[in-house]
């Protein structure tokens, strides 16, 4: 009885954490240390303590990155924000490292309880968010009407007689990205929770509302990321060697060639292309303005979270890109993690980012072969979210990459445990 109670609590804890992240992405940094609770406790009950030594090469590079970010923050124009981002990165690193060492040894039943909890949390949040997207935020509007003090201070909302009656289309963009971050771990867990083709199909069908929410939203980056992840999955299923090589080449290109590639989009005049969404055209102008300033500090960068101050200064006397309403300014951030890393951390930061990606790809290759398409899809979708979204130093966004990896470890551990139990 006690054992079953603990398994139920574990499932409920995981479901609550998953749903909280998806419904309130801003909570992501606070969920990182909380994600340690179930894996560490179950591992401790199974045996004394997880072995934390020796670290992998990926862990060593991540630790070196944390050290470099702490140094880089000293010349940031907004050091407080930079140190906060560095602290979140360090918390993410420690959380992921301990979970990666603890979770695979937690035991088959605890892993199944966590997997069920994650699935229930993702399913529930996906259903609620699909209702929000399809019916113009009815839950949030009622919540803000009942508790007006919790309403965020954002632009473009519709207010009548002091009551919020409409929210802007971008209001749930973070939530859509969060759904994408956890989408492939959810699919892996569905595959191994189901015991037959029919049960897997039913479990997968229950995830459709989450996909509907993403597709029906106004967040084009999330749509691109979910599509790119699906494409990577299909290619890896059919042509695994080609798929691995293509992903590796794409990662190297994104890190090493992002500056000339983004400049090329501007030189081609795409910022004036009316067939592109307005936000995409604005990004092209921001990319050009950011790329032009990289040469001023190419080795060590301008410092983390510095683009925000550059943007403020330049908007005092703006120069507009010809033929557009957009100021030639880096803005608050580059809307491209790869370009942002070049601008704010220089060649050293880019080298570390490149190494992190390549070592992650190598770690995926070392997983059981049947898991390769799923986890390469995780990598592809997350890399695409990084290519045209918010700043890497946004607290929720930085923590989201770690949460995606943490739930990826859960999915991998559950898959391996389930496969071993079936033999």
Cα dihedral 269→274→278→282 (10° resolution): 10
pLDDT tier at 421, thresholds 50, 70, 90: low
Identify which has the larger pLDDT, 46 or 403.
403
Q: How far apart are CA 190 and CA 353, in angstroms?
A: 31
| C-beta neighbour count of 222 within 10 angstroms | 28
- Check: CB of residue 329 under 8 Å from CB of residue 289: yes
% of the chain exceeding 90 in pLDDT: 58
Eight-state DSSP code of residue 165: E
Q: Across-strand partners of 159?
A: 164
Q: How far apart are CA 192 and CA 8, in angstroms?
A: 19
The dihedrals phi and psi of 225, each to the nearest 5 degrees, come to -65, -40
The 10s digit of each residue's pLDDT in 288-317 is: 888 888 888 889 999 998 877 776 666 666
Q: Write down the mean pLDDT value for the chain.
A: 88
The pLDDT of residue 263: 84
**Ordered alpha helix ranges (H), 271-394:** 278-294, 307-316, 337-365, 372-387
The pLDDT of residue 1: 47
The candidate with the shortest Cα–Cα distance to 181, out of 18, 327, 353, is: 18
Q: How far apart are CA 277 and CA 107, in angstroms?
A: 49
The 10s digit of each residue's pLDDT in 250-296 is: 999 999 999 888 888 888 877 777 777 777 788 888 888 888 888 88
The ranges assigned to domains in the chain are 219-392
pLDDT tier at 415, thresholds 50, 70, 90: very high
Identify which has the larger pLDDT, 159 or 137.
137
The pLDDT of residue 165: 66
The listed range with the strongest mean pLDDT (5-9, 47-51, 258-262, 363-367) is 363-367
The pLDDT of residue 46: 55
pLDDT tier at 409, thresholds 50, 70, 90: very high
For 334, residues 6+ apart whose C-beta sits below 8 A from its C-beta are: 286, 287, 290, 307, 340, 343, 391
The pLDDT of residue 314: 64
The 10s digit of each residue's pLDDT in 81-111 is: 999 999 999 999 999 999 998 888 888 899 9
- Check: CB of residue 210 under 8 Å from CB of residue 122: yes
Identify which has the larger pLDDT, 160 or 383.
383
Q: How far apart are CA 379 and CA 361, in angstroms?
A: 8
Q: How far apart are CA 180 and CA 29, in angstroms?
A: 18
The pLDDT of residue 279: 77
Q: For residue 54, is the peptide bond before it cis, meaning its omega torsion is within 30 degrees of 0?
A: yes
- The answer, as to whether pTM is greater than 0.85, is yes
| C-beta neighbour count of 2 within 10 angstroms | 6
């Amino acid at each position: 009885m006690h054992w079953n109670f603990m398994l139920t609590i574990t499932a409920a804890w995981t479901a609550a954490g998953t749903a909280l992240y998806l419904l309130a992405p801003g909570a992501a940094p606070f969920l990182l240390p909380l994600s340690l609770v179930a894996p560490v406790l179950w591992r401790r009950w199974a045996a004394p303590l997880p072995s934390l030594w020796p670290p992998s090469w990926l862990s060593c590079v991540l630790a070196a990155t944390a050290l470099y970010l702490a140094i880089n923050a000293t010349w940031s124009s907004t050091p407080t924000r930079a140190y906060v981002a560095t602290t979140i990165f360090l918390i993410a690193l420690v959380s992921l490292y301990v979970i990666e060492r603890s979770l695979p040894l937690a035991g088959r039943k605890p892993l199944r309880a966590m997997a069920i909890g994650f699935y229930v949390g993702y399913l529930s949040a996906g259903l609620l968010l699909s209702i929000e997207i399809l019916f113009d935020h009815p839950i949030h509007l009622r919540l803000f009407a009942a508790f007006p003090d919790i309403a965020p201070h954002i632009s473009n909302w519709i207010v009548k007689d002091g009551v919020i009656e409409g929210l802007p289309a971008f209001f749930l963009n973070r939530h859509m990205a969060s759904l994408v971050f956890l989408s492939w771990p959810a699919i892996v867990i569905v595959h191994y929770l189901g015991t037959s083709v029919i049960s897997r199909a039913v479990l997968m069908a229950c995830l459709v509302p989450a996909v509907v929410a993403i597709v029906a939203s106004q967040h084009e980056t999330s749509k691109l990321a979910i599509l790119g992840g699906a494409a990577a999955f299909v290619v890896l299923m059919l042509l695994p060697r080609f798929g691995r090589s293509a992903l590796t080449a794409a990662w190297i290109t994104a890190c090493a060639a992002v500056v000339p590639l983004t400049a090329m989009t501007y030189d081609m005049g795409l910022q004036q292309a009316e067939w592109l969404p307005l936000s995409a055209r604005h990004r092209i102008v921001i990319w050009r303005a950011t790329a032009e300033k990289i040469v001023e500090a190419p080795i060590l960068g301008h410092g983390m979270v510095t683009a925000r101050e550059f943007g403020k200064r330049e908007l005092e006397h703006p120069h507009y890109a010809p033929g557009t309403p957009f100021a030639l300014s880096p803005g608050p951030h580059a809307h491209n993690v790869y370009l942002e890393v070049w601008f704010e951390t220089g060649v050293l930061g880019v080298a570390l980012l490149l190494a992190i990606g390549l070592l992650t790809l190598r770690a995926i290759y070392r997983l059981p072969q049947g898991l390769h398409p799923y986890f390469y899809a995780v990598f592809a979708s997350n890399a695409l979210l990084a290519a045209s979204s918010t700043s890497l130093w946004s607290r929720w966004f930085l923590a989201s990459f770690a949460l995606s990896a943490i739930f990826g470890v859960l999915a991998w551990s559950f898959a391996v445990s389930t496969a071993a139990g079936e033999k």
